[in-house]
């Protein structure tokens, strides 16, 4: 029996909207947690502390899903925390991309 067949045998009413929202919350937390695994693996490979680009992508995707969940459960503390985090993650990506563009221009000029 595969996963989708198993889901179809779940009793009626099992997948309530609250279950779906909790699943969304867990998915967001999983994405957010994945950023630490990515950072840890990159650090172990280089034998120095590094923050790879994927760290920021997981931060944004996990933070966005968690913000959506926080809005659904109407938690102002959770909403503020995730919204502020998204601003910081976005700013870091902006700085990274700006530096990358500068490097490309500098290489083209030489």
The whole-number pLDDT of residue 16 equals 85
Query: Which residues of the chain are modeled with pLDDT < 50?
Result: none
Domain limits at 90?
16-109
Whole-model pTM: value is 0.78
Q: How many domains does the chain have?
A: 1
In a domain, 72, yes or no: yes
In a domain, 4, yes or no: no
Distances (CA, A) of 44 to 2, 19, 37, 39, 59: 36, 37, 11, 9, 20
Within 8 A by CB and 6+ apart from 24, the residues are: 65, 68, 69, 72
In a domain, 60, yes or no: yes
In a domain, 33, yes or no: yes
Give the span between the Cα atoms of 67 and 69, in whole angstroms. 5
The whole-number pLDDT of residue 36 equals 94
């Amino acid at each position: 029996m595969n996963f989708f067949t198993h889901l179809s045998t779940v009793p009626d009413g099992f997948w309530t909207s609250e279950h779906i929202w909790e699943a969304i919350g867990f998915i967001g937390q999983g994405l957010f947690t994945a950023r630490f695994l990515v950072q840890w693996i990159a650090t172990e490979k280089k034998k120095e502390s590094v923050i790879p680009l994927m760290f920021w992508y997981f931060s944004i995707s996990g933070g966005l899903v968690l913000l959506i969940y926080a809005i659904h459960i109407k938690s102002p503390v959770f909403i503020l925390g995730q919204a502020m985090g998204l601003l910081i993650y976005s700013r870091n990506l902006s700085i990274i991309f700006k530096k990358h563009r500068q490097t490309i221009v500098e290489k083209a000029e030489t």
